[in-house]
A and B are shown apart, each in its own frame.
Chain A
């Protein structure tokens, strides 16, 4: 086994994903065999933990549901404690294609601290239309400015973090809804991390459909806006590395 300093951790937050989690783990192990797989069972009430262990992943079981933000912070803490050089978030519902992991890693090796897998940058079939698409475009425009790079898909959960991003997120990954994607980007850009995006193919979700309902989209934009405004308003000291 290689020392962890050269190794990559795939972090999979999972909440009631017993149906898909073992297939996704198997696919990650097949397409990115050198990575360690850590599943964060976010307080599931089904057999997610057992299925993930059965598929050969490391499993951290949270005592109750913390949301994606809490699950991911746990993953970043694990990565920091064990000295991984990269942590890659992959959803356990099979929406992210593990085949894109090498592309994300290549961008990290090229000097980026945080790499987003962007869903609409050319590859794949995944499309969002209507008000939700406009909301995402507005977010992308604002976040592109503070990240000093062109981002088209700021709410993508498919992302890779290098050592600087891992150290930052282990202490400051936000728990609020939408905070995990939007606010995390603001935190990273305010701490001057290098953010890039690479196009990834995205498969449609296994279960459930993204909403195109107008009221829901308005609510989504509202909450995203609030998350964004407060992320910028927060004092700089809120994002400093913990001294402990």
Chain B
């Protein structure tokens, strides 16, 4: 590995962290969705600064080619992010459905009360 690729790795990891932190700061990303991205950025930064950590850890797990550990880790993180997004989507769909039902029922109620008031205006002075 030459100096260029070493610096390239560090810059990429820092860029990921900057984007994630900035989105968090401006409330464009909620904390619980950001954990995975923060974890990914941090791990990437550590590995970019100390490439030897990757070789050591790959050896520990019995992985012959250390770069495979990178691929495995990346895919695992993307998998969990996608899974979490699907689960959140399900929850949102459920809430939307409940709101739609609620609104439809309230509309019927409002229409009925409006029609009744028009037929039989409420006594405003009594209130």
Q: Contact check, B108 vs A62: say whether CB atoms are below 8 A apart.
A: no
Interface size on A, residues (CB 8 A): 16
Q: Contact check, B108 vs A60: say whether CB atoms are below 8 A apart.
A: yes
Classify the secondary structure of A's interface with B: mixed
Number of CB contacts from chain A to chain B under 8 A: 33
Nearest neighbor of A59 in chain B, beta-carbon distance? B108
Does B91 sit within 8 A of A, measured CB to CB? no
Does A144 sit within 8 A of B, measured CB to CB? no
Does A78 sit within 8 A of B, measured CB to CB? yes
Nearest neighbor of A74 in chain B, beta-carbon distance? B101
Q: Contact check, B108 vs A63: say whether CB atoms are below 8 A apart.
A: no
Residues of A within 8 A of B103 (CB): 63
Q: Contact check, A58 vs B108: say whether CB atoms are below 8 A apart.
A: yes
Does A73 sit within 8 A of B, measured CB to CB? yes
Report the contact-size class of chain B (Cβ under 8 Å from the partner): under 10
Does B105 sit within 8 A of A, measured CB to CB? yes
Contact partner of A61 (CB less than 8 A), chosen from B94, B97, B104, is: B104
Does B87 sit within 8 A of A, measured CB to CB? no
Q: Contact check, A61 vs B107: say whether CB atoms are below 8 A apart.
A: yes
Complex Cα spacing A66 to B105, Å: 14
Nearest neighbor of A38 in chain B, beta-carbon distance? B108
Residues of A within 8 A of B97 (CB): 66, 70, 175
Residues of B within 8 A of A77 (CB): 101, 105
Q: Hey, what's the 0/1 contact readout for B96-127 against A, CB within 8 Å counting as 1?
A: 01001101110110000000000000000000
Does A110 sit within 8 A of B, measured CB to CB? no
Nearest neighbor of B99 in chain A, beta-carbon distance? A63
Residues of A within 8 A of B104 (CB): 40, 60-63, 74
Q: In chain A, residues 4-62, which have Cβ atoms closer than 8 Å to a Cβ of chain B?
A: 40, 58-62
Residues of B within 8 A of A73 (CB): 101
Chain B positions near chain A (C-beta within 8 angstroms): 94, 97, 100-101, 103-105, 107-108
Query: Which 4 A-B residue pairings sit nearest by Cβ, starting from the closest?
Result: A74-B101, A60-B104, A62-B104, A60-B108
